Amino acid sequence: MRIETLAVHAGHEIDPGTGAVTAPIYLSTTFERAEDGTVSKGYFYSRLGNPNRAALEVCLAALEGGGAAAAFASGAAATMSVLQCLAPGDHVIAPIDAYHGTTILLRDILGPWGLQVTFADMTDLDEVKRSIRPQTRMIWVETPSNPLLRISDIARIAELAHAAGARCTVDNTWASPVLQRPFELGADLIVHSTTKYLGGHCDVLSGAVVAKTDDAFFQRLRTIQMQGGAVAPPFDCWLVLRGIRTLPYRVRGHCENARKIAEFLSRHPRVEAVHFPGLPTHPGHAIAAGQMRDFGGMLSFQVRGGKDQALAVAAKVRIITRATSLGGPDSLIEHRATIEPPDTRTPQNLLRLSAGLEHADDLIEDLAQALA
Ligand SMILES: *Cc1c(COP(=O)(O)O)cnc(C)c1O
């Protein structure tokens, strides 16, 4: 089945008790056992398993074409759980421009527990290769990257990982399974902040890990999910599953708006640079064209001048909202450097934009008046 059909049907069943077409939300924390003491209907205690979570996990595995999925309370919890499957002394190669929370988990939280990490420029395959050590067990990929939309070659990095006896994990949050198919490119694990495009409405915080195969590594992850307890609550699972039903169509709108905005900005005299992989001038354009179905709903741009000029543009938008995050119906603009640490690599005149689902012309007019 195609992804549009999977998005509507995977994980959805008519409720056998009532015929309800949309699943109820199972808030019960505990489940009755049979007279002989067995767990007759598959559920026992909701940290270990819940019908809404199980339905979402079925859907996520189907969407990504994986063997199994585990839903977490946030994208950060999903990332943390994958890293906790590694052992002290193991080495991870991660992008220099990884999602900031991922960098903190690797460097400040798991570093003291003995996990070794090298941050590498993932767009430079030689640098990735040079970073490999005998203890390397995982290469972490995030493409397109935040906030410069840099593109890494998933297939080539997965090959390097496998040659070194390591797993390749792709944070597929920014692309979504509609646009980028990491398992087909050789990845072993996919992480999502389902807070973004999958939830799709800026009203639910959640995350997921999808494994290509339901192997021993995934079983360890499942144990960490159930016993570590960072599980996604039933209502959150219900909201994400509901969001996914319209994902493929929403993503088309996000992509179309981002492309039109990027084209407008790239012609604007007050804009110094536009970072959008759909522009032929973008350094990752060719790789993105090969590994993505479309170029996504995220872009960033640099305003001529500096930090003050960029902040002034963000201050003047009327339809677009000044806020962090991405993937919802509202277009969001953010001066990234303000929320990043002082040693950030993000240019001070950069604004990041999550193209929402408003009409592209209204968004362009809003940016035009803010840049005027
Ligand atoms: C938001 C985000 C995360 C973290 O997800 P949360 O749901 O906020 O915990 C991880 N990776 C990427 C690429 C993100 O955009």
| 203 & 329 share domain | no
Cα 274 to middle of ligand 1, angstroms: 23
Predicted local confidence at residue 150, as pLDDT: 98
Mean pLDDT of 41-56: 96
Residues 6+ apart with CB under 8 A from 267: none
Ligand 1: atom nearest CA of 207 is 7
Domain count, the chain: 2
Q: What is residue 269's predicted lDDT score, i.e. its pLDDT? A: 98
pLDDT at 257 over 90: yes
Whole domain around residue 285: which residue ranges? 248-371
Indicate if the pLDDT at residue 370 is higher than 90: yes
Residue linked to tokens 């949050």: 173
Ligand 1 atom closest to Cα of residue 76: 9
172 and 272: one domain? Answer: no
Q: At 49, which amino acid appears?
A: G
Task: Judge if the beta carbon of residue 147 lies within 6 A of ligand 1.
Answer: no
pLDDT at 5: 98
Confidence of residue 224 (pLDDT cuts 50, 70, 90): very high
Say whether pLDDT at 11 is over 90: yes
Residue 190's pLDDT is: 99
Whether residue 195 has its Cβ less than 6 Å from ligand 1 = yes
Other C-beta atoms within 10 Å of 340: how many? 13
User: Is there a single domain that holds both residue 165 and residue 273?
Assistant: no
User: Pick from 244, 269, 291: which residue ends a domain?
Assistant: 244
Q: Are residues 265 and 153 in the same domain?
A: no
Q: Tell me the C-alpha distance between 244 and 231, whole Å.
A: 19
Q: What's the gap in Å between 206 CA and the centre of ligand 1?
A: 9
**pLDDT score at 261:** 99
Rounded to an integer, what is the distance from CA 151 to the centroid of its chain?
14
pLDDT of 340 over the 90 cut: no
Instruction: Judge if 129 and 229 occupy the same domain.
Output: yes
From ligand 1's centre to the CA of 99, what distance in Å? 7
Contact 339, 367 (CB under 8 A): no
Domain match, 123 and 186 both = yes
**Do residues 150 and 42 both lie within one domain?**
yes
Asked if residue 270 has pLDDT above 90, the reply is: yes
97 lines ligand 1 (CB under 6 A): no
Tens of pLDDT, residue by residue over 12-23, are: 999 988 999 999
Buried b (16+ CB within 10 A) or exposed e, 99-135: bbebbebbeeebeeeebbbbbbebbebeebeebbeee
User: What whole-number percentage of the chain has pLDDT above 90?
Assistant: 97
The predicted structure's pLDDT at residue 343: 81
Last residue of a domain, one of 188, 212, 244: 244
Distance between CA atoms of 75 and 102, rounded to whole angstroms?
9
pLDDT band with cut points at 50, 70 and 90 for residue 40: confident
> Binning pLDDT at 50, 70 and 90, where does residue 350 land?
very high
| Known active-site residue 99 | yes
Q: Do 233 and 260 fall into the same domain?
A: no
The pLDDT value recorded for residue 341 is 83
- Cα distance between residue 187 and residue 153, in whole Å: 11
Predicted confidence at residue 54, as pLDDT, reads 98
- pLDDT surpassing 90 at residue 117: yes
Q: What rounded mean pLDDT belongs to the chain?
A: 97
Q: What is the pLDDT of residue 249?
A: 98
Q: Is the same domain home to 58 and 7?
A: yes
- Closest CA to ligand 1's atom 1: 193
Mutate to test the pocket of ligand 1, among 81, 122, 141, 173 (most ligand atoms within 8 A of CB): 173
Please give the average per-residue pLDDT across 238-260, as a whole number.
98
Average of pLDDT values for 270-288? 98
Question: Do 117 and 180 lie in a common domain?
Answer: yes
Distance between Cα 193 and ligand 1 center (Å)? 5
> Same domain for 267 and 365?
yes
**Predicted local confidence at residue 235, as pLDDT:** 98
Residue 240: what pLDDT?
98
Catalytic annotation present for 196:
yes
Residue tagged active-site, from 99, 137, 197, 245? 99
CA 254 – ligand 1 centroid, Å: 18
pLDDT at position 7 over 90: yes
Mean pLDDT value across residues 143-156: 97
Q: In what order do the strands lie in the sheet with 332-334?
A: 271-275, 298-303, 350-354, 332-334, 321-322
pLDDT for residue 342: 83
> Residue 314 belongs to a domain with what CATH number?
3.90.1150.10
Domain boundary, last residue among 222, 244, 266: 244
Q: How confident is the model at residue 344 (pLDDT cuts 50, 70, 90)?
A: confident
pLDDT at 200: 98
Digit-coded pLDDT (tens) for 298-315? 999 999 999 999 999 999
In order of 8, 76, 142, 151, 218, the CA distances from 247 in angstroms are 9, 21, 20, 22, 26
Same domain, yes or no: 262 and 116 = no
185-200 per-position pLDDT tens digit: 999 999 999 999 999 9
In a 3-state reduction of DSSP, which class is residue 256?
Answer: helix
Q: What is the CATH number of the domain that holds 119?
A: 3.40.640.10
